[in-house]
Every structure is written in structure tokens, then in C-alpha cells.
Structure 1
Amino acid sequence: MFKNWILIILISICFQVLFVHCKSPSIIGVHPLDESYFSSEIIKCKDGSKSFTRDRLNDNFCDCIDGTDEPGTSACPAGKFYCRNVGSTPQFIFSSRVNDHFCDCCDGSDEYDGSFRCPNTCVMGGNIEYKRSTYISIDAKESKNQANLEDLIQKLEGLKIILLLQVGVVLISFVMIVRIIRYRFRSRRKHYS
């Protein structure tokens, strides 16, 4: 009975580790307090005019006049994009400034499409607008190293999850092997008695 509880606890720990590390990322351009608003499958425009499905969120097509469905794109003229600006002051910008090759958020989150990289200036005092000409003066080698570092970090996150899964499998296997050995030992003891 006690061993069954250990097995159940080990399995639940493995699943908890998986779900904590595989949690879905936050929605681009949405204030953290508004993320729950976008959690259902059918979402209503904040002005009440229409409803849309979750798969139409940030699809680069304006379904809501007020821009509710496009917080992370520049599709809606009335939309607002939320800059988290960790290390500085969070702010809202017009969504027309998203992916326009100007760094409006000091953390560079408004230029997420990959065609333009913004340095994170939040810890340096923040909210400094960088234009393409300013950014080009940054050494290309440094930008390549930054991209390599980001790729390495993503690979390490994936390896961490795989390692945690493997540890869970090994623990479960160990418990199962111990149970099998004890079962065989008991059945042999009964056979010889």
C-alpha cells in the first residue's frame, strides 16, 4: 500500500514538473492582468460589437473595431500594445508601432517578428527609442553572438525538460523494478515454505 502511494507521488511530481515548464507563454501585447480575458475559446470584443475565436487572436486581421483581437499586431488602427519593459516602466503604445523597425519598447518586445533586433535598454534607464540607423552601428558580431546565445538558451530549456522527463522515467522504473523483485522474492519464499 505504501509503495503505491510512493509511485503515485512520483508520477504526480513528474506531471507537475512538465506542466510548470511547458506552461504556455503570455499573449504578445497583452497586459498580464488582461490575459485571463483571452483565456476562453470565444472572446468578445471589449466594445461589445462582436465575438471571435481564440485562433483569430493576433492573426494580423482586425476583427474588432477597438483592436481587442490584435493586441500584438499592427492590423487595427485603434489597437494598443503593452510593453512589459522589465527593469523599467511598463507602457502602452499604439499597435501601429509594432514591427515597424523602430524600437518603441525599451525591452524591444514591439519588434518581435525577427526582421529587426532591438537592444534591451530597460536596465540602462529605459524607454530610449532606437531607430534603424542607430541600431546598425552596433557591431554585427555582437548581434550574431546574442542570437547564438538566445538559441543556446532555448536549447537548454528543451534539454532541461527532457532531463526532467528522463529522471521521472528512471524513478518510476526503479520503483517498478523494486516491486517486481519483492514480488518474486515473496513468491519464492511462499513456494519453499
Structure 2
Amino acid sequence: MGRTRWSCRCFFFLLFFMESSASSTHRGVDPLDINYFDSELMQCKDGSNSFTKDRFNDDFCDCVDGTDEPGTSACPRGKFYCRNLGSQPRFLFSSHVNDHICDCCDGSDEFDGVFYCPNTCIMGGSIEYKAEYHQTFDIIQETKSKSDGRLDMLQNLKDLKVLAVLQLIILVLWGLWLFYRRAKSRKRRYLL
């Protein structure tokens, strides 16, 4: 029994290690195309341009068809490949990369560190889970916009209070100045 658990743990560790090392260098690339991206100079698949290895996944679109940016959202026509180990692999439009919605069940489409997607592929990457994330994200955005509106209103009220206090101070100072001027002119009249 203990040996089986150890074997399972090693297997999942190796899968995770292989996935993380492969995804960091070839993020968003279909496994059938990995050899295509291993050369120093690569051609766009539509033949429109060529690019060097240092311009691969650099968040700048060099190819019209998005060949050079499979792991970013830089190219509008690009496709991101979700490996989804333990579930069904799939392609996404590159606009879904780092959009704070978990589209890949392995979470590989959200890698910028701002939004965390747990790996649900072993559980089958259920559609309900994705729907929950979309709903949760919408609720968070709605709550944030409401609270931002309230914070803006509170800030405006504070600003108005400060403005009213400043106006009151100016009026008091102006009144004191007028009182001083009148007292000075009365003193002059009295002396004459």
C-alpha cells in the first residue's frame, strides 16, 4: 500500500515537473509543433515573416497568423494550446490568455501571477467549475465597481468638507481683516 502511494506521488510530481518545464519554454504550443519552435530562425506558418528564437512568446506580434505568440495574447489571430494533462487538450483564442478567467482546466492560460487557477484536470475539468469561476469573477467585478463608486462618493464628500472648512477659514480671516481695518480707521478718526 505504501509503495503504491509513493509511486503515485512520484508519477504526479514528474507530470507536474514535465508540465512546468515544458510550459515555461513552449507555453501555448501544440506538442506536435514543439520541434518547429526549436530552431534559431523560424518562419511564420503563413510565410509572411520570419523571427528569431528570442522573439518567440515575447508579447509582441511578429506574425500575422500569431505563430510567434502562442503563449501570449499579443496576436489577435493566435491560438493557445491547453495541455490539460489528465483531461481533454484544447485550443483557445489568444485573447483568453491572462484574462483572469480559467479556461484551461490545468490553469496554464493564467500564468501572469495576478489570478490563480487550480488544476482541475484530474477531476475532469468540469464545465460547472468553469461556470462557477465566470460567475465568481463577475460578482467580484460587480462588487469592486460598487465599492469603487462608494469610495469615490466618500472621497468627494471628504473633499467637500475640506473645501467648506477652507471657505469658512477664509471668511473668518476676511472678517477679522475687515474688523481690524474698521478699528484702525475709527482710531484715526478719534485721534483727529
How many angstroms does 1:121 deviate by?
Answer: 1.3
RMSD value, Cα: 2.3
For residues 75-90 of structure 1, the aligned pairs below 5 Å read 75-90=74-89
Q: Which position in structure 2 is the counterpart of 1:103?
A: 102
Partner amino acid for 1:133? T
Distance in 2 (CA, whole Å) between partners of 1:93 and 1:107 is: 13
Could you list the per-position Cα deviations for residues 51-85 of structure 1 after superposition, in whole angstroms to 9, with x for gaps in the alignment?
A: 00110001111000000000000000100000000
How many angstroms does 1:131 deviate by?
Answer: 2.9
Against the structure 1 CA distance between its residues 85 and 77, is the aligned structure 2 distance closer, same or farther, given a 3 Å change threshold?
Answer: same
Partner amino acid for 1:117? Y
Partner amino acid for 1:45? C
For residues 131-142 of structure 1, the aligned pairs below 5 Å read 131=134, 133=136
Is there any run of 5+ residues in structure 1 with no aligned partner, and where?
1-20, 138-193
Partner amino acid for 1:106? C
1:124 aligned to 2:123?
yes
Query: Which structure is higher in helix share?
Result: 2
Against the structure 1 CA distance between its residues 43 and 127, is the aligned structure 2 distance closer, same or farther, given a 3 Å change threshold?
Answer: farther
How many angstroms does 1:133 deviate by?
Answer: 2.1
Work out which of the two has the higher radius of gyration on C-alpha atoms and give 1 or 2: 2
Distance in 2 (CA, whole Å) between partners of 1:53 and 1:114 is: 27
Against the structure 1 CA distance between its residues 93 and 73, is the aligned structure 2 distance closer, same or farther, given a 3 Å change threshold?
Answer: same
Q: Which position in structure 1 is the counterpart of 2:49?
A: 50
Task: Give me the TM-score of the superposition, normalised by structure 1.
Answer: 0.55
Distance in 2 (CA, whole Å) between partners of 1:121 and 1:80 is: 21
Secondary structure in 2 aligned to 1:131? helix
1:70 aligned to 2:78?
no
Q: Which has the higher contact order (CA 8 A, sep 6+)?
A: 1
How many angstroms does 1:132 deviate by?
Answer: 7.4
Contact 1:83 / 1:105 at 8 angstroms: preserved in 2? yes
How many angstroms does 1:100 deviate by?
Answer: 0.3
Distance in 2 (CA, whole Å) between partners of 1:41 and 1:136 is: 45
Is there any run of 5+ residues in structure 2 with no aligned partner, and where?
1-17, 141-192
Distance in 2 (CA, whole Å) between partners of 1:64 and 1:134 is: 32
Could you list the per-position Cα deviations for residues 28-67 of structure 1 after superposition, in whole angstroms to 9, with x for gaps in the alignment?
A: 0001110100011001000011000110001111000000
Distance in 1 (CA, whole Å) between partners of 2:83 and 2:126 is: 11
Q: Which position in structure 1 is the counterpart of 2:164?
A: none
Contact 1:102 / 1:132 at 8 angstroms: preserved in 2? no
Secondary structure in 1 aligned to 2:114? coil
How many angstroms does 1:125 deviate by?
Answer: 1.9
Secondary structure in 1 aligned to 2:76? coil
